[in-house]
Structure 1
Amino acid sequence: MLSSLAAPEIKSTAAAGLRTAVTILDKWGATGEQGEAILRVSHSTYARAKRKDGLQSINLDRDQLTRVSFVLNMHAALRVVFDNPENLYGFMRMPNHNAFFYGRSPLEVMGSGDFVAVYETFRRIDALRSSQW
């Protein structure tokens, strides 16, 4: 879909996605360092994305766009699973005792910044959505 957009539209769409992902990470209680690692962006880019008027256009590579997409889709899955804001935003900070997490929270796992950790967390969160249908 992005490939059909002109360069300025891609940069604008990427900025909007990044701003939304940063807002979600903030609501999940991610530290700045965790958010930067999860999205694989610099401290200055993350700080600009947190400001309402700080990021109107940005170049993100395929890996960064994929990470933004994972955060957005995890949030969408959690919105299907949970009705109340405490669980919707708190789930990612809660210790999880399933085999992949071994007592760590999803944010702790993804906070390493490792792509596989982010992907596998996304996969498991997205699977929660399936069980609701």
Structure 2
Amino acid sequence: MSQVAIVEQFSKSQSTIGLRAALNILERWQASSEQSCRILRISRSTYTRASQRDSEWAVSLDADQLQRVSLVLNMHSALRLVFDNPENVYGFVAMANHNEFFNGRSPLEIMAQGDMISLYETFRRIDVLRGAGW
């Protein structure tokens, strides 16, 4: 399926709901607004509008942005499966991680670099915690 077809499958309201959910998760993960914008590849104005909860506002996201939203939502889902307590579900990505890929940096620091590879590789490593075989 082409990226154009993927984008066309989601309405503006669905994209807006997904974006707002991802922003809520990022906020709970202690991401700054700047980090959230880099992770999701959205503008500061889109971030501000999405954060205002204006029910009339809607946004169209491109395939890359939708994939980024999906990765954040899936990381959150994996963390909820792995951890029972909210402190770890929401605190894990902000904690320093000394595994080889992270080298003492937090998953949030890696994701906030803004490139898709960093976001995807962080997702893969979190997804493995729940037993996903790569």
- TM normalised by structure 2 equals 0.89
User: Given the superposition, is the C-alpha separation of residues 114 and 14 from structure 1 closer, same or farther in structure 2, using an over 3 Å criterion?
Assistant: same
1:96 maps onto 2:92 in alignment: no
Q: CA RMSD in A?
A: 2.2
Match of 1:72 in 2: 73
Contact between 1:48 and 1:55, CA under 8 Å: does it hold in 2? no
In 1, the alpha carbon distance for the partners of 2:6 and 2:100 equals 40
Contact between 1:93 and 1:107, CA under 8 Å: does it hold in 2? yes
Deviation at 1:55, TM superposition (A): 6.6
Spell out, residue by residue over 1:55-109, the C-alpha distance to the aligned partner (whole angstroms, 9 max, x if none): 7421111000000000000000000001111111000100000110000000000
* DSSP-derived class of the 2:11 partner: helix
Contact between 1:92 and 1:107, CA under 8 Å: does it hold in 2? yes
User: Given the superposition, is the C-alpha separation of residues 4 and 29 from structure 1 closer, same or farther in structure 2, using an over 3 Å criterion?
Assistant: closer
Match of 2:21 in 1: 20
* DSSP-derived class of the 1:130 partner: coil
In 1, the alpha carbon distance for the partners of 2:103 and 2:55 equals 38
Aligned residue identity for 2:51: K
What 5-or-longer segments of structure 2 have no aligned partner? none
What 5-or-longer segments of structure 1 have no aligned partner? none
Spell out, residue by residue over 1:109-128, the C-alpha distance to the aligned partner (whole angstroms, 9 max, x if none): 01110110000001111111
Aligned residue identity for 1:93: A
Percent identity reads 57
**Which 4+ residue blocks in structure 1 deviate beyond 4 angstroms?**
1-7
In 2, the alpha carbon distance for the partners of 1:48 and 1:115 equals 23
Spell out, residue by residue over 1:13-55, the C-alpha distance to the aligned partner (whole angstroms, 9 max, x if none): 0100000000000000000110000000000101111122267
Q: How many residues align?
A: 130
Aligned residue identity for 1:32: S
Match of 2:85 in 1: 84
In 2, the alpha carbon distance for the partners of 1:84 and 1:18 equals 25
